[in-house]
Structure 1
Amino acid sequence: MRRHMNTNFGAKANNLIKLKDAGFSVPEFHAVSANDLKVFSFQEIANKAHKDIGAVSYAVRSSALIEDSKEESFAGQFSTKLAVQPEDLVAAMEALVWNAKNILGSIDEFGLIIQKFIEPDVAGVVFTRDPQGNRELTLEFVRGRGENLVSGKKNPKTLYFYRNSTLWDVEYLDVIQKSIEIELLFGFPQDIEWCQKEGRLWILQSRPITTITKEQNKINEFLDKELPNERFFYEKNLITEVAPSPTELTWELLNKLYEKQGPVDLVYKKHNIEFQDTNFLLRIGGQLYVDKEKELHSLFPAMTFLHDKQYRKTFGSFSGFWTSYKNMKAIRKLSFDCEKSFLDVQDAINFYSSQNDLEKSIKEFLQVYEIVFEINLGAADAIGKLSQILPADMQVSDALSLNIKLTDNWLLTPPQGLLGNSLEVYDSTEFTCADYIGSGHGESDKYSRFRDEIANAQKWQLLREYGRWLMLSHINGIKKFAKGEGKYRKVFPYELPARLYLSRVTSISKSLGLSSGIAWGRLVTKDDIEKISGQKILFSECFTPDLVEMFDKINGIVTHRGGLLSHAAIVARESGIPVILNEKISRSMIGKNIEINGGTGSFVVR
């Protein structure tokens, strides 16, 4: 029995040795290898451990060679015995070995840890990164023993923290800082079990988070360095889709669209709306984002996203109140002439001719963008009105795909010889036309009473496509004067998230996704799994590790008790089993067909 690192110990024991050597507070322990279990009797091992450690009671844990690797954690699959009296150590080891033989078939690769037991005031788990790949450090804890948390028997309190945040809670500062230090020690995001006793922090174990890829980890590390440490809200949206990673020339064009007396400003003025250029475009790792707070202030300077934990628009300041009020009033009165917009874009496409220098080409591009932006506003208005009148069981996307025939004079011929499909000047992809009309099925009685509204929305969608043709024509004219392949800022090699923010969620909700994915089937209990065929969603009050053995027989899980970081949740994410915690689903729904969303925690009865 040794306490220096040894490949026969298993990752759990070796990780504890590494932590202790690095100066972290780890309860005294003995690592017992598979060879030790063959050479020494249980009584000899128990006597040696108690003599060296001298604790009042012990925790006896598994340390198999297959546990806690970067590929699989086997979280909660082997037994653990807590608060074991010295005279009961032999029985505890026998129980763990018996359990391991049932799982592994032999104990050739199975070891043990005999550790001083700390009766905690608070116990918990830290994921130094969100286990589903997001940036935040996730902290879960319960009063008393952590076994109630990792076994899924008790709902924990859950907190989220960002590395570059100034909002760290002082009460948990030591746990957060030590957890980040542990991640740095191992060089990869960690799943850490910890406890506190009389104010002292103890590290009980650490293992790599198996559901995070190296790519996700590199993205998170990059964003920690790039993002500000005060509250912000950045997003990739329809604006950024036109040039996801703009070169310098394209970046200049994009900014010209929103400057004072630019096309966006002029269109808003026509509708009596006051627009301010707030420089809301930004690039992170060469990828285009919109600063949502600055974008909001361009029209509503009294509003903010940053006062609400869910980043919903709220009143923020009396400064700019009158401008905000006038703009809101003007926007409610907006009206758009679909026929006029069609004639404008038709003429602009038909009468386009390329200019003979770059300055004139850019000037004409900005002029025709007024037509395009007017169309964009009209399309948003039409789609918004359609979504308001459609019943809950009807989707706008389905309505827009209905084959409602438009008059022939609305159908334009695409320009010839275009190159590219975005506003990126150096886009050299093959030009393609989008088919917004008649993309799948004919008119439906279900939607017949909304035919006029649907046809109007479809017209605006078609106008958006024509506006794109117009933009591409002018971008192709600018291409002639753009030399070389374009100067890009250094672009981060992986696609960054669509939304970035600095946030803190203070507690677990009664509706939570524990393991991402969509699943559907009949809601069943454990007793019904073998009796019912077809797709099945398991209902279990507690999300306990024993459910793992049923994963190959079910499509998803609904539970009332359990946390994002419970052992079963870890394995579910590794296995691709969607899991939700949702207390609205009760036993009275057993037998019904439901669909669950493991990302949002939501469900629908099918």
Structure 2
Amino acid sequence: MINPKKELFKWGPIDGKPIYVSVFIEPFEIYPRFIDGTWPDLLGYFKDGKVVFIADYPALRKRGLSLFKKYVLKNENLKKHHKDWVKTTKKIIKFENKINKGLLKFSDNELNKLFASFYKLDIDFWLRGFLPELANYGAEPFLQNKILKFDKLNFVEIFEKLSAPEQISFFQKEELEFMKIKLIHDKKKQLEELKKHQKKYYWLRNSYGFTKVLDINFFKNELKNISKKDAEKKINEIKNYVGKIKQEKKRVIKKYKIDDNIVNIANKLAYCVWWQDLRKKFIFIGNHIITKFIEEISKRKKIPFKELSYYCLNEIVELLKENKRVNVKERLKDFVTYYHERKKIKYISGKKAAKLAKPYVEVKINSNLKEFKGTVVSRGKTLMGKAKILLTPRNLNKMNKGDILVAPMTSPDYVIAMRKASAIITDEGGMTSHAAIVSRELGIPCIVGTKIATKILKDGMLVEVDADKGIIRKIK
């Protein structure tokens, strides 16, 4: 078992249902057949529509560093794994096009085979795509230690600049394409391009807990709220982004005389950060495919969608193949998935799950704290603003321009809110977390790993963010 008294890694809590998240852990048992290493023990806890994953942090770093040295620092290994992964993503896109035409025409037997083939494809996606994430957990502290020994005083600037990916993110790509549509003068042509955009990016607001198809009206409304001047500005920013990143890297390397070994490690880490972020595009498309299947299966098996969302994907395979049903009554209250290295994954429900998870998720706080600290991952001037607590991206509408976004952690479904923020604060995360990467893209201050921000701060509270020292102060 994971020792709750040790330093713990936490991913979440974030919107999450077993049906969308389980495929991430189901390949754990077979990772060693594909790669020399796998995750250490990992506990996933589902409660009230959210999920948090917990692991022993030192064990995770050790495992990640081993993979980073063996499979990432050696170019031939990295290229092979990425090439295989890209092949799988192309198959997912083909599957997406097939599914979007509808499932009604398929017989029960055909539907069973179709889902089984998708399940295998999704497993393949994770078998080849888990490498950058796990490697990052070891590579980040590895690079940190190298830089701290080299130049402790300028650590944040050096790490921030060197670890920045030299490719635009899929969200930047979507935004660039969208802004170009705004500049089309011919209204008919503009509408045609907007329809193509909708078909390509309807999944943008999907998450690990729910999916939503964004229709053409969503994109029409978004287009109305953008001026041509702002569109031109954003296009120039994104087009110049990669060049600016490369220029800043050269400046920092020259200014601090950074050796080639550190630069090489940083470049490989930056590549893995980009790859890990790109995965989310296909995860969200995959979750859309899962939703389409579950909607159809719900009708045919007469099982409510909500109940099926608490099945794991392998259990859907068994449901279709052998009509093997799962009683999820207790899962809906509390559900734990526990992976013990190289052994089968255990599923625990109800009171037993709650008892097992309790020591890992309880956090003792002093609500009278006037200030607290975190890790600076994107520097900026000290500023003040109203805190907005977003425990879920579903509440992003309460974010106003200039507010300070406070969240347990961020994921791609938070990006719309992040674009409005003057600063970002999270409970969890590190130098290569989603919040860190996006805040740097946006050029706004970000402090992560506070552990307590969402519990100490309240909606509307005036907060000061010192993104030089990593201090958050309650003003009133």
TM-score normalized with structure 1 length:
0.30
Higher-helix-fraction structure: 2
Q: Whose Rg is larger? A: 1
TM-score normalized with structure 2 length:
0.36
Higher relative contact order, chain-length normalized (CA < 8 Å, sep 6+): 2
